[in-house]
Each structure stands twice: as C-alpha cells, then as structure tokens.
Structure 1
Amino acid sequence: MPKITVICYLFSLLCYGLGSWKMSALKNLNWAMTDYTVYVSLATVYFVLTIFLLVLGSFFFLARILKEREVAVADCISPKAEAARRVDKSRWRSASGVKVQLPSNYDVKLERRLSS
C-alpha cells in the first residue's frame, strides 16, 4: 500500500474522531443556539473531510494498482514478439488489398491459400 494512502486513511480516522467529539459535546452540554450552530458546522466539516480523505486515499491506491498492472503487461511483451505482430498485420493488409483487386472468380482460391 502506498504511503500516501496510509496517510490519507489515518487523517480520515482523525477527522472522524474530531467530528464525533464535536457531536458528543452537543449531547452533554446545554448552551445557547449560536454554540450549537458552531459545533454542528465544525462536526459537518470534519465528516466531509473524512469522506474526502477516504476517497483520495482510495484513488491513490487504485492508481498504484493500475500502474503495476500496466508495467507487468508491458514486461511480458518482448520486442521480437512485437516486431512479429507488426509483420503479420502488414501481410494481412497487403493480402486483403490484392484480394479486392482480383476478379471475382479468383476470390475463393486466394482466400483458401491465405487461410491454410
């Protein structure tokens, strides 16, 4: 797991704890209406920050997984195999071009020769 993902997850836990602490302060104390508004606003900010950090950490984790898969796929293909693929594609393109230019009575024979 990348370090940035762990950091994001730990800070999201911290923000969740702070938001819960602000909410518990509302239940235990009896204050004026302005104090409620401040504590509810702070708790909401902490909870939104928690969700944002979780999404951000998950994004970094997913990006690392996709990057590792891309590198693994690229390592499996050798340069010789890639060159052979390019040659095969060019042969098929030229053969189909010849097939289109020939009269219709030769199409079947040419197709049999290419497929065998």
Structure 2
Amino acid sequence: MTQRNCTQFRMKKPDELENELNNLQQELNILKLGTNNSNKIENIQKSIVHIRIVQNQTIKDNLRNFYQGEKHKPKDLRPKQTRAIRRELTSNEKSIQLKKIQRKNSSFPQRTFAIKD
C-alpha cells in the first residue's frame, strides 16, 4: 500500500475516515506480527498519522465555527500572542478620551508656527 496524503483524506466524511483508520490499524497489526517489511509498515503508520491530523483539524474547525463571535473562547482557540500583547488596549480603547481632556484640547488647540525666511 502506498502512503496517502492529508489532501486525499480531507474529501472523505468522518465515518469513512474512521473506517479507513480501523482498516489501516488492523493491517498494521498484521504486518507487525508477520515478516519485517519496514517500508510497508512505515507507509501505513504515516497514513494513520495523516488521518488523525485531518480528524483533529476538522474538529478544531468545527469548534472555531461554534465559538465564532462569542466573548469567551477556550484557550486553544484564542490567538497565540505574547502575554503583553494580549493585555494591550485595543485601538478603539486607545482612541477614547475623557471629557475633561476633550474640553482642554478644544480650549487650547495645538499651535502651528510658520518659520520666516
């Protein structure tokens, strides 16, 4: 059996993937008990890994769609950034000014000077 890629498994439905995974695991167990055909064993192991990758990615995508627009999300779905960046104010929060500051800025605007030659 040749090694299969993730793209080949992405087009299948979840139950088909599960059946494929079970078949590959059974074949792998048979090969491990029999002769040492390491190349074939390696290909089957990689195919099993590719199936599991596709399964995990589809689960994660479904969770992202489920929590989209929610205020609180699980930690693994939050954006991965440094702690300092996560705690920074958003651009909207940075632009907000107090009433007192707004009055002060309108009363005393920034002066512009022209340099004479």
Whichever of the two has the greater Rg, that structure is 1
Question: If the length of structure 2 is used for normalisation, what is the TM-score?
Answer: 0.43
Question: If the length of structure 1 is used for normalisation, what is the TM-score?
Answer: 0.44
Greater helix share, 1 or 2? 1
